[in-house]
């Protein structure tokens, strides 16, 4: 059932009823949810220009496996400031998703976020396509380090046991997403009753690549900005996730 022109409050009411009567909800979480919590989209035009002006390279170039391997000092200058020291916390949208988990309706959250906000909100089954900044590992002795340890360095963080540079366990550009992660994400989407696309658009690479596995008829989009492919959703609601999702789930 495609609902595109109904009044916003009617859409919210319809979605509330749909969620009440459904299980196996899977959330595809976009960068818009981080922005609602005070984060920045490093790949927006304004941020990309700022980064290129400040560092002389694009975010994709700096956050690449090749750049990490050859220019660790410059990599960590960027990573320390732009990733490790981003201090934001989950807002109402994340807590609404946690409520879906608490009442037994949430199957999984799939995200490209590396900041760890879903886990901070208490969400358990998070399928991370790009990893988590809180997980860092020595490539030699395999000892793990958390974000607190990484933040204590102003330069390249070194392993306390073997003094090797510690590697963030995130997917860098030019590296493949692990097969087991892709399999878990595709299976979660395949088995979903409802897909909630949150804080992104239907044409984003994550969403479009995963929705090919969905065979249901409840693709729900909640996002702030209108986009030409909104009609690819069975229901779309424009607004902040943190404003709309609590009205739906509580």
Average confidence (pLDDT) over 155-175: 95
At residue 1, does pLDDT exceed 90?
Answer: no
What does the alpha-carbon distance between residue 119 and residue 126 come to, in Å, rounded to a whole number?
7
What is the DSSP annotation of 94-112?
Answer: HHHHHHHHHTT-EEEEEE-
What does the alpha-carbon distance between residue 162 and residue 63 come to, in Å, rounded to a whole number?
25
20-58 confidence digits (pLDDT tens): 999 999 999 999 999 999 999 988 999 999 999 999 999
In the chain, pLDDT over 90 holds for what percent of residues?
94
Mean pLDDT in the chain? 94
The answer to whether residues 116 and 56 touch, using CB atoms and an 8 Å cutoff, is: no
Q: Provide Rg for the chain, Cα atoms.
A: 19
Average confidence (pLDDT) over 143-168: 95
pTM of the model: 0.93
What does the alpha-carbon distance between residue 143 and residue 138 come to, in Å, rounded to a whole number?
5
What is the DSSP annotation of 196-237?
Answer: EEESS-TTSHHHHHHHTT--SS-EEEEESS--TTGGGSSEEE
141-155 confidence digits (pLDDT tens): 999 999 999 999 988
Q: Which fold has domain 1-39+89-130+176-250?
A: Rossmann fold (3.40.50)
169-193 confidence digits (pLDDT tens): 999 999 999 999 999 999 999 999 9
At residue 5, does pLDDT exceed 90?
Answer: no
């Amino acid at each position: 059932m495609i609902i595109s022109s109904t009044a916003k409050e009617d859409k919210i009411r319809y979605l509330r009823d749909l969620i009440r009567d459904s299980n196996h909800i899977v959330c595809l979480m976009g960068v818009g949810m981080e922005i609602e919590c005070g984060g920045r989209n490093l790949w927006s035009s304004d941020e990309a220009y700022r980064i290129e002006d400040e560092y002389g390279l694009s975010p994709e170039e700096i956050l690449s496996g090749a750049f990490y391997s050859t220019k660790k000092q410059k990599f960590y200058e960027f990573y320390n400031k732009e990733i490790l020291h981003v201090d934001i916390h989950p807002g109402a949208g994340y807590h609404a998703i946690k409520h879906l988990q608490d009442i037994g309706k949430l199957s999984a959250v799939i995200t490209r976020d590396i900041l760890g906000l879903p886990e901070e909100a208490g969400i358990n089954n998070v399928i991370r396509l790009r990893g988590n900044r809180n997980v860092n590992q020595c490539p030699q002795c395999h000892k793990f380090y958390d974000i607190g340890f990484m933040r204590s360095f102003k330069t390249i963080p070194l392993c306390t046991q073997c003094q090797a540079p510690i590697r963030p366990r995130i997917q860098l550009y030019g590296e493949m997403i692990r097969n087991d992660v892709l399999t878990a994400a595709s299976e979660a989407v395949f088995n979903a009753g409802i897909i909630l696309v949150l804080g992104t658009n239907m044409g984003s690479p994550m969403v479009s690549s995963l929705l090919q596995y969905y065979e249901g008829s409840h693709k729900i989009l909640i996002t702030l900005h209108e986009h030409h492919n909104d009609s690819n959703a069975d229901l779309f609601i424009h607004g902040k996730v943190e404003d709309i999702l609590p009205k739906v789930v509580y």
